[in-house]
Chain A
Amino acid sequence: DVKVTQSSRYLVKRTGEKVFLECVQDMDHENMFWYRQDPGLGLRLIYFSYDVKMKEKGDIPEGYSVSREKKERFSLILESASTNQTSMYLCASSFGGGGITGELFFGEGSRLTVL
């Protein structure tokens, strides 16, 4: 069964803290994505990666960075968390070249609260 696993379902952090959100997929997918989900705004793409050590900015990259040192792992980093980064974060993966014609596989999400 295909699997995208996000390390933490719920996190509570304080303003200014550094936050790591980890995502691992076991499908040997080339592409990995980080989305942010907010009520009424749907999903907005933060960053994506087509290959190891490669990254591309999405629609809302400000305040975030990513790391992809291994094919199966894609990390989202908040260098200095702020309250407006309180949100649900979704990781997804897909086959190479398959983001259009293929399917995105999503993790269950990480709900981050920044106090």
Chain B
Amino acid sequence: AQSVTQLDSQVPVFEEAPVELRCNYSSSVSVYLFWYVQYPNQGLQLLLKYLSGSTLVKGINGFEAEFNKSQTSFHLRKPSVHISDTAEYFCAVGNNAGNMLTFGGGTRLMVKP
């Protein structure tokens, strides 16, 4: 069985400050990891994904995440946030059997001016 834990339900941060959204996972099989973003009143869209290869993954809008196998983590980072980054962010892990994603509880990023 797989599970995803997003350690912070809300993260307030000032504009232009750096941010890290934490994600830890448990999986007994090969790991495929994703971050999705949900802007207010919209569906989810893919921010970035780790399938294999380099452990540092770059996504859209200046976000990046690092896969750390020993710590079973996939934290999302951005060096300088904008007001427009205010959204809910979901970490997800894919299974090896096919076509299933397990999502974390979400982290609400609130960027303040």
Chain A residues in contact with chain B, CB under 8 A? Answer: 4, 31, 35, 40-45, 48, 50, 90, 92, 94, 97-101, 103-104, 106-109
Contacts and interface: CB of A to CB of B under 8 A. Distances in A.
B98 A100 contact: yes
Contacts, number: 64
Output the residue of B6, B95, B106 with the most chain A CB within 10 A: B106
Given A42-B106, A99-B99, A104 B44 contact: yes
Interface stretch (B13-21, B45-53, B68-76, B79-87): B45-53
A94 B105 contact: no
B42 A108 contact: yes
B112 to A, nearest CB: 21
Interface of B: 4, 6, 9, 32, 36, 41-46, 49, 51, 90, 92, 94-96, 98-106
